[in-house]
Amino acid sequence: RTSIVGNERRENSAEHSWHVTLMALVLSEHAVASGLDQLKVLKMLIVHDLVEIDAGDTFVYDKVGLEDQEEREERAAERIFGLLPAESGAELRAVWDEFEARRSPEAKFARALDRLQPMVLNYVNGGGPWQEHGIRADQVREINGCIEDGAPELWRYAEELIEDALKRELLAP
């Protein structure tokens, strides 16, 4: 749903996964907890996106689309992990469940990056989908506030982006 830099087309799921996993490698020092299992963070991000691809990615500000997202993703997870050998399927299912629970430091950091990445693209693209859908700053804060749970320093950066986006009228007040 987010445009790639330049607004020429929408970012596809593979590009999003690549961007967010690269962010995980580069920004790990900003995680709320030190000593994160970086491989687990990468697995979470990739497996989470795989399930979203199968379930149909939902625009994060689409309240109607979000109503059945959990159910669609649960069906997708069962289908995908069921295709794998039992041990592999169980391992990746556990990683996905941990990401979705958002309790471990790795899951919180992975979620933070998954939310920050499209914010950065929207900002760099002059508002992109924010403007197309009339998204307000309070919506961006509400949807993306979980960034603070996984990476407080990155949330401060996100807040700076939001404030500047308001000044530049990229977001509705």
pLDDT per residue as tens digits for the range 149-171: 999 999 999 999 999 999 999 99
Instruction: Look at residue 127 and tell me whether its pLDDT is greater than 60.
Output: yes
Backbone angles phi, psi at 120, to 5 degrees: -60, -45
Percent of the chain with pLDDT over 70: 95
Q: Are 117 and 20 in contact (CB under 8 A)?
A: yes
Mean per-residue pLDDT for 18-27? Answer: 97
Q: Are 39 and 106 in contact (CB under 8 A)?
A: no
Q: Which two tokens stand for residue 173?
A: 């007040």
Structural domains for the chain: 13-167 (1.10.3210.10)
Instruction: Look at residue 50 and tell me whether its pLDDT is greater than 60.
Output: yes
Between CA 44 and CA 98 the distance in angstroms is: 8
**pTM score of the predicted model:** 0.92
Backbone angles phi, psi at 79, to 5 degrees: -65, -50
Model confidence at 4, in pLDDT bands (50, 70, 90)?
low
Instruction: Look at residue 141 and tell me whether its pLDDT is greater than 90.
Output: yes
Q: Where are the alpha helices (DSSP H) in the chain?
A: 13-27, 38-55, 63-66, 69-83, 86-101, 105-124, 128-132, 137-144, 147-150, 152-167
